[in-house]
Structure 1
Amino acid sequence: MRLSRRQLFGAGLAGAGALALTGCGRGGPDDRTTLQFWHPLSGGDGIIMAGLLDEINEAQSDYYVRPTVLEWGEPYYTKLAMAGAGGRAPELAIMHSARVPAYYPGGLLDPWDMSRLAELGVSEEQFSGPVWENSVIDGELWSVPLDAHPFVMFYNTEICEAAGVLDSDGQLLEPDGPEGFLDICRQIADYTGGNGLSFGFLGEPPQIWRLFYTFYAQHGVEMSFPEGGPAEIDDDAFIGALEYMARLTDGEVASSRGDRDSSIAEFSTGQTGIFFDGVWELATMNDAELPVNMGMIPTVFGTPVTYSDSHCFVLPHQQDPDEEARDHAYEFVARLLEGSLDWADAGHIPAYLPVTESSEYAELTPQSSYADAIDHVVYDPTAWFTGSGSNFINEVGQMIQGSMVSGEGFEDTLERFRSYVDGLLEGTNPVDPEGSHG
């Protein structure tokens, strides 16, 4: 999926932003109202989204959803902010949930009308607590979640069974604390003759942050980045998570020089038994035809949580929205959520519970085996600078990598992190036209 994304971008997505700056109106097939819909989805999930849009466009004659695919990351969020500030935003867009707090304070987004959604069968009761709560800010719903895409564990059932680390139900054994998981990995390594775990971290700051914040939050704490600072960080949890990651990548449990591609190759060729990555790598493992099951990152520090973000629908601010088009935007989102079973093919967990609690979803393997992760996800600390694709994640991942590689300097890394975050908290949100904090 990652290769497909790179290939697609190489074919010319960089110029798509210029084509996207158009508003709603007539002009769709059969003179239907056209809904402009921006998203950064490409590769496997982009193909699935295109299929869902085709189904909705063909199933009714009131509106036509016209997608524009833009380059993921900062380029996408910059274009979205410019469109909202200039009053030429699309009717709908996809954002990562953790990026929404940067956009709503400056009026770049419009809140969703919860009563309007409820009339269409979309309300709090249809979503897990963590996912819905992350969409509500200051009592208003600023995003409608499409999924959760957590950081998870893949494991080769044949290798793990041979290594003696599966229970009677064929699931990986629950580790008895931090040492217990290290023992499981070493037991697998004894069988494979190499490493027990594959984790690509070298030169991969997002991977590092995802696993780090998982282990940090498993201590039963979260970070808080209040407006103006200072950051609220649990020192023991920070250092504990960092020390444990250094132990995992000691060259015995997992490679001390593993990058993303090498870790995928290592696991997909049967050289290890466990692989840490995002749910989006499910397609890669299916292509490799491995006997794979999946689950949450093992709970080694007491609290069962794992890092995640969500793709969500937002209403970019329009100075004079077309009410007919906005009605259709609500209808489209409700219809897509109801039909989001196919979205699980990309590995993502559909956020709409009537889908994940259906008999059809229960038959999906291995998707149904990790569906409960949606009740235990933890998102980035809320701040204007956090979230998927942010510079924050890249900077922090590089800081942590240094301690992982050296196996020392954990306290120094904590102080560097604290100083870095406090500096950001004293600054201003660059996408807030009012120039306010947070």
Structure 2
Amino acid sequence: MVSEQRTFTTGSEPEQASRISRRGFLGRAAALGLGTTALAGILNSCGTTAFGAGKTHITYWHLLGGGDGERMLEMVQQFQHNHPEVDLEAVTLSWGTPYYTKLAMAAAGGRPPDVGILHMSRLPMYAGSGLLEPFDTSALSNNGITQDNFVDPVWQKAHYNGKLYAVPLDTHPLVMYYSTDVCQKAGLLDSNGKLQEFKGEDDVLKAFSEAKKASGGLGLAMGVGDPSTCWRVFCALYAQLNGQYFSADGTQLTFEDDKAEQVLAYISKLAKEVGSTNIDYAGAIALFSGGKAGFHWNGEWEVTTFQTQKMKFDMTLFPNVFGGQQTWADSHSLVLPRQGTVDPERRAMSIKFVSELLKSSYIWAQGGHIPTYLPVATSSEYKQLAPQSHYAAEASNVVYDPPVWFAGAASELENQAGAAFQSVITQQKTPKQGIQQFRAAMLKQLQTPKPF
């Protein structure tokens, strides 16, 4: 038996959270911009369904489509095959704001799924608003999941106020792709066909310049027309300068203009001299896959795109430009949305489900994401997976979005920061003007109350 897979497309401290009334539920939605029709659909779709007699029924929500969705379905079906005593209902929702809105509303209403996917960058908002329940670490341990199974930076990020609120499934960082054909022609490969090391502002620019000559197109294909890409690249390089965003309590803006200006000036220089100032996300991918660019900066999730196109390429760590190996990253993590009433049997099976997804994450790793579960990440099977294993060390260098409630995947911080920095990289504004735009947007967000 396989799990039921459904697909939908939809437009305080944890201890203080509880089931709220329908009126309260609707009232809290205003800050998230949902109308009553959409909310009614949320309320009506969160009920339980009669499943197999004598079986434990658990529900699982995620936002994974495309290749990620196919691999997740394979992992879910593997769990169901191993546990015929479970009725597992897996529901796929639209990526981004629609998913996160629905998950928040369902948890606030006390009728969420048993298990959900959450980008780790969203954890401060959801855990801090009482929308998640912490994991019982002893129950995880009984299923073979312990702290020493993870690299420390990712494990620590999964905590909020000292409690474990997420179990990270992967790390998906910004990495560097390179065309082996172009780089060979440019003299950038060693005798083993691997990219020679280069670091520092001048050396990176020089390598990209040589690749530009060899490709007859661009040295670096970077989707500067995509605000999310602009944010990720900025975040990586700003982290290499140890740049700060907010105070530890998330109430004050501590952004360092001089460091930000240095980063934006450098990215703008790359775009102008070895890249393009108007290329979008899809265009960058097309140029790189077509052999018209030597390098490509993007998340590792595009690996299967280039494999499918059978191009000759490899992947490596995001370069050390400003004296550090830091890079932007996020993680898909597994969470327990807050229930109105916890059923012990369903909770126990939910934790088993979480643990077995981790243990089968070699399937997940084939799509490019670095598995966080070390028994998989250090296995000979994963080490032989190329080029996915070539940037595995990046898991120790990751920098997540700032831990404020309005940060994270598809968040207002990403949208506002990406737009401000994009305007600089595309030569529409000076670095100072872009920084002013970002500052104004962040100060406005700091004055905006949390929606829960």
TM-score with structure 1 setting the length: 0.91
Matched residue type, 2:240 = Q
Partner residue, 2:16: none
Q: Which position in structure 2 is the counterpart of 1:146? A: 169
CA distances 1:316-355 after superposition (whole Å, capped 9, x unpaired): 1001111100000011111111111010111111110110
CA distance in 2, matches of 1:313, 1:261: 29
Shift of 1:112: 0.7
Name which of 371, 375, 399 aligns with 1:350. Answer: 371
Match of 1:257 among 255, 258, 278: 278
* 8 Å CA contact 2:215, 2:293 repeated in 1: yes
Q: Provide the C-alpha distance between the structure 1 equivalents of 2:254 and 2:196, rounded to a whole number of angstroms.
A: 34
Check whether the contact 1:38–1:68 (CA below 8 A) recurs between aligned residues: yes
- Determine helix, strand or coil for the equivalent of 2:60: strand
Task: From 5, 9, 12, give the equivalent of 1:13.
Answer: 9
Distance 1:394 1:319 in 2: 33
> Which residue, 266, 273, 283 being the options, matches 1:244?
266
Equivalent runs, 1:198-209 vs 2, <5 Å: 198-202=221-225, 204-209=226-231
Poorly superposed stretches of 4+, deviation over 4 Å: 15-20, 23-26, 225-228
Paired with 1:363 and 1:238, the residues of 2 have a C-alpha distance of: 39
Q: Give the conservation status (yes or no) of the 8 Å contact 1:165–1:184.
A: yes
Matches within 5 A, 1:28-427: 28=52, 31-202=54-225, 204-227=226-249, 229-250=251-272, 252-406=273-427, 409-427=430-448
| CA RMSD between the two structures | 2.0
C-alpha contact (below 8 Å) 2:8/2:92 kept by paired residues: no
- For residues 19 and 296 of structure 1, the distance between their equivalents in structure 2, rounded to whole angstroms, comes to 44
* Shift, 1:385, TM fit: 0.3
Asked whether the equivalents of residues 61 and 115 of structure 2 are also in contact (C-alpha less than 8 Å), the reply is: yes
Contact 1:88 / 1:318 at 8 angstroms: preserved in 2? Answer: yes
Find the partner of 1:27 among 42, 45, 51: 51
Native 8 Å contact 1:91 1:325 kept in 2: yes
**CA, structure 1 residues 175+228, in 2 after alignment: closer, same or farther (shift >3 Å)?**
closer
User: Which amino acid in structure 1 is aligned with residue 79 of structure 2?
Assistant: I
Counterparts in 2 of 1:106 and 1:283: CA distance versus 1, 3 Å: same
Specify the SS of the correspondent of 1:14. Answer: coil
Is residue 145–residue 351 contact of structure 1 (8 Å, CA) maintained in 2? yes
* Contact 1:185 1:253 survives alignment (8 Å): yes
SS in 1 for 2:57: strand
Unaligned runs of 5+ residues in structure 2 are 1-5, 12-37
Report the secondary structure of 2:138's partner residue. helix
Task: Please give the per-residue CA displacement for 1:139-198, whole angstroms capped at 9, x wherever unaligned.
Answer: 100110000111111111121011101233433222231111110011011112221111
Deviation at 1:19, TM superposition (A): 9.4
- Give distance in 1, aligned partners of 2:445 and 2:278: 31
Q: Which region of structure 1 is more displaced relative to structure 2, 88-97 or 216-225?
A: 216-225
For 1:286-342, what per-residue CA distance to the aligned partner results, in whole angstroms no more than 9, with x for missing partners?
A: 111011110121111111011011000010100111110000001111111111101
**Secondary structure at the counterpart of residue 196 of structure 2:** coil
SS at match of 2:81: helix
Question: How far apart, CA to CA, are the structure 1 residues paired with 2:376 and 2:221?
Answer: 32
- CA–CA separation in structure 1 for the residues paired with 2:301 and 2:102: 25
Distance 1:413 1:226, change over 3 A: farther
Q: Which runs of 5+ in 1 are unaligned?
A: 1-8, 433-438
C-alpha change, 1:148 and 1:20, in structure 2 (3 Å) is farther
Give the distance between the partners of 1:149 and 1:188, measured in 2 at CA: 26
Shift, 1:24, TM fit: 5.6
Contact 1:246 1:407 in 2 (8 A): no
Residues 220-273 of structure 1 deviation map (CA, whole Å, 9 limit, x = unaligned): 3343355463211222221111111101110x3001211111111111111111
Aligned residue pairs: how many? Answer: 419
Match of 1:6 in 2: none
When residues 349 and 54 of structure 1 are mapped into structure 2, their CA distance, relative to the original with a 3 A threshold, is same
1:186·1:253 contact (CA, 8 Å) conserved in 2? yes
